[in-house]
Structure 1
């Protein structure tokens, strides 16, 4: 059955990058975002190859299992295409791409994913990230070593653990099937969007009742307002709804929209990289897949960062304790400059401190027993003393005591 709904695809270079290495595709049944990497032209070529290969699947499938196998096979074939391309064009060595693909089959979404582009589902007012980032920091989050919020600003957040590249002919791809329903809104995006616009703002934009193209414009503006340091690509897919259904012409955006126009500069002599000696280095890649020994260094670096954080927290905690202790010390010293007159069993006593207590700790202590019996005081004075009488100083406290009137004496 042909997918019933509406969609929109949008891609922008961003405010920092000189070229767009992302590609996006929104067709009749298939929706894809690919974030390329690998220098000035390598990323363009890689994401274009991925979209071109996957576009062959934009057709109805008999069942979800068949569609899932087709997605898996097409992405694996894309890895082979990348390897073959580098053999004939060595200046593109090191190129790669993420792939996040959504294939609609009846009332189900068949999903395939590798890399750190993302697929979100907005349903019943809630936004859920469906895919898991294949990144170094995501492993740190999964192991409980950092929080998701820390991951957003981690210096290694762009290090990919799994990517579709020119070195692995059999990449590990996440595939799964989810039921979908009318009213669902799906978002596929590169990290140029998800790394700048947080989930709260994304959810607010998706919650609006606008058409997918309008939502894409809103999210792009938020990414640009946030600096857009990377290419920004998104595909928004509505299930059912009141907006027009697919028109019959797929929307292709980013580098895949004009693959024949990609110019591949000649490789620079005398330059090499740690991964590919002949790698084109016109632009630094936005992502890369590190070698195992480099991962060990990253893990050790993260351990050092964790130790520094623990030391920082401990020092900060001790400073807070010192400030609290200092404040308590100064506060207690101030209380000891105060006096009041009160009762102790059966006599009048001058107390040093204040009448309050902190839990079981009293902030006063007997300073002088005056020797005046409570029984010798008038009922009014006895009640006043038992309720305590505050004094400005020790001399003031003694003056208060001297004015107390025992029974039988004139006031």
Structure 2
């Protein structure tokens, strides 16, 4: 049994876009008691691909059987499976509809053994805060190194991957399979917090600002403040803004931990 309980919440704002293409959900697995999966996806152009991310994540997670104590690599493979299966379905749908659809992916698994494992594809971000400090933030660095190694690209060419349809790291890219950057940590404890964020949110804040907001307030209070501040800083030109906040807190005296 973990020495903490989980407080979590999601929030979204449409920004100045005509529709909300981001999707986010917290999921439990039918065969994985005590495990939680948080998923955020930013649909590019429309919401079809991000909807598919959540649909596939539910299906794959419901089939996941962790056993007594799933290893970090086994959980990482779960996240890769969600990405690869979603990517295949999105490409098949594009052939049938003759309309391409792309999406980013952030997945975070928390285990009943105090482990956290996450995977990232694209522009969405995951942050890990501890005692009010940002200790981990996902980004492009690992994907750039992957391009340099696998495609033998020079560093400057790899850094320009956002400008190239061939190199763009998203689910649904017909020219290139998505690369999943994996991270993990163990020994989770009260005061650990996680933030999943679309680029309509994280683009407007420093790591320290996000750490302070998430660490000092409840998920609902933090999300309201961040959405309002993002709206101010974007000066009415911001895109879809979505986030999921997971806080590990000490149970009240006499209350059971989960």
Output the TM-score relative to the length of structure 2: 0.76
Matches of 1:211 and 1:77 in 2, distance apart? 34
Q: Which residue of 1 is the match for residue 33 of structure 2?
A: none
Instruction: Spell out the pairing of 1:233-312 with structure 2 (5 A cutoff).
Output: 233-242=242-251
Asked whether the 8 Å contact 2:120–2:180 carries over to 1, the reply is yes
> Is 1:66–2:74 an aligned residue pair?
yes
Question: Alignment partner of 1:165: what SS?
Answer: coil
Structure 2, unaligned runs of 5 or more:
29-35, 148-153
Instruction: Spell out the pairing of 1:7-406 with structure 2 (5 A cutoff).
Output: 7-14=8-15, 16-28=16-28, 29-38=36-45, 43-56=46-59, 57=61, 61-62=66-67, 63=70, 64-90=72-98, 92-93=99-100, 95-105=101-111, 106-133=113-140, 159=163, 161-168=168-175, 170-179=177-186, 180-208=188-216, 210-227=217-234, 229-242=238-251
Question: Alignment partner of 2:169: what SS?
Answer: coil
Matches of 1:170 and 1:213 in 2, distance apart? 36
Asked whether the 8 Å contact 2:44–2:103 carries over to 1, the reply is yes
Asked whether the 8 Å contact 1:197–1:222 carries over to 2, the reply is no
Asked whether the 8 Å contact 1:33–1:99 carries over to 2, the reply is yes
Asked whether the 8 Å contact 1:118–1:129 carries over to 2, the reply is no
Asked whether the 8 Å contact 1:79–1:169 carries over to 2, the reply is no
Task: Say which one has the larger Rg.
Answer: 1
Q: Which ranges of 4 or more aligned residues in structure 1 deviate by more than 2 Å? A: 1-4, 58-62, 133-136, 156-161, 168-171, 197-201, 240-245
Matches of 1:78 and 1:236 in 2, distance apart? 24
Matches of 1:169 and 1:101 in 2, distance apart? 20
Instruction: Say if 1:205 and 1:144 are closer, same or farther in 2 by CA, change over 3 A.
Output: farther
Question: Alignment partner of 1:164: what SS?
Answer: coil
Deviation per CA, 1:39-90, whole angstroms, max 9, x where unpaired? xxxx300111011111231677330332221111111000001011112211
Matches of 2:224 and 2:129 in 1, distance apart? 17
Q: Higher RCO, 1 or 2 (CA under 8 Å, sep at least 6)?
A: 2
Asked whether the 8 Å contact 2:133–2:208 carries over to 1, the reply is no
Matches of 1:159 and 1:218 in 2, distance apart? 33
Matches of 2:214 and 2:129 in 1, distance apart? 7
Asked whether the 8 Å contact 2:132–2:191 carries over to 1, the reply is no
Matches of 2:199 and 2:246 in 1, distance apart? 18
Displacement after TM superposition at 1:217 (Å): 1.0
Matches of 1:157 and 1:172 in 2, distance apart? 12
Displacement after TM superposition at 1:158 (Å): 6.0
Instruction: Say if 1:73 and 1:86 are closer, same or farther in 2 by CA, change over 3 A.
Output: same
